[in-house]
């Protein structure tokens, strides 16, 4: 199942859990991306029946400031670290998986900001 265009939904709990999974010794650029970016999810870009029931795979899009997107584009280790922690955080949700992780330049969505992440 691959929809032509899935709606993006902000997923602040996924961003916060990915930061926890990354831990204090994780990749510095990956941490900066999760701290200063926002995470949105396009749900059910893939689905299949697994041995434990239905699986739903989602596209995760990390929206970052333009300069951070450029830094990330040339740092494969940071991109891999981000993909790994996002996938690990998503896998904690029963029947959920990450199909794809993308990084895009853009502005933080106001609804994704918490009290400690107010615009400067």
Mean pLDDT by 10 residues, the chain (120 residues): 68 97 96 95 93 93 94 95 97 95 82 47
> Is there a domain that residue 115 lies in?
no
Residue written as token pair 């794809």? 100
> Is there a domain that residue 117 lies in?
no
> Is there a domain that residue 98 lies in?
yes
Q: Where are the beta strands (DSSP E) in the chain?
A: 8-10, 38-50, 53-64, 96-105
The reply to whether the predicted model has a pTM over 0.95 is no
Residue written as token pair 């994704």? 112
CA pseudo-torsion sign 15, 20, 21, 27: positive
Walk across the sheet containing 96-105 and list its strands: 8-10, 38-50, 53-64, 96-105
The reported pLDDT for the residue numbered 99 is 96
> Is there a domain that residue 59 lies in?
yes
> Is there a domain that residue 112 lies in?
no
Structural domains of the chain, count: 1
> Is there a domain that residue 111 lies in?
no
> Is there a domain that residue 18 lies in?
yes
Share of the chain above pLDDT 70, in %: 85
CATH of the domain at 61: 3.30.300
> Is there a domain that residue 116 lies in?
no
Contact between 95 and 55 under an 8 Å Cβ cutoff? The reply is yes
Q: CA 16 to CA 12: how far, in whole Å?
A: 6
* Structural domain of 71: 8-106
């Amino acid at each position: 199942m691959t929809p032509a265009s899935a709606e993006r939904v902000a997923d602040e709990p996924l961003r916060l859990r990915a930061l926890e999974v990354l831990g204090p010794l994780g990749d510095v650029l990956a941490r900066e991306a999760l701290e200063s970016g926002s995470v949105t999810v396009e749900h059910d870009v893939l689905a299949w029946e697994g041995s434990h029931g239905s699986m739903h795979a989602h596209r995760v899009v990390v929206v970052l400031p333009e300069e951070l997107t450029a830094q990330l584009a040339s740092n494969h280790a940071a991109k891999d670290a981000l993909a790994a922690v996002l996938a690990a955080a998503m896998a904690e949700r029963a029947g959920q998986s990450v199909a794809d992780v993308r990084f895009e330049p853009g502005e933080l969505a106001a609804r994704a900001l918490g009290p400690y992440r107010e615009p400067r």
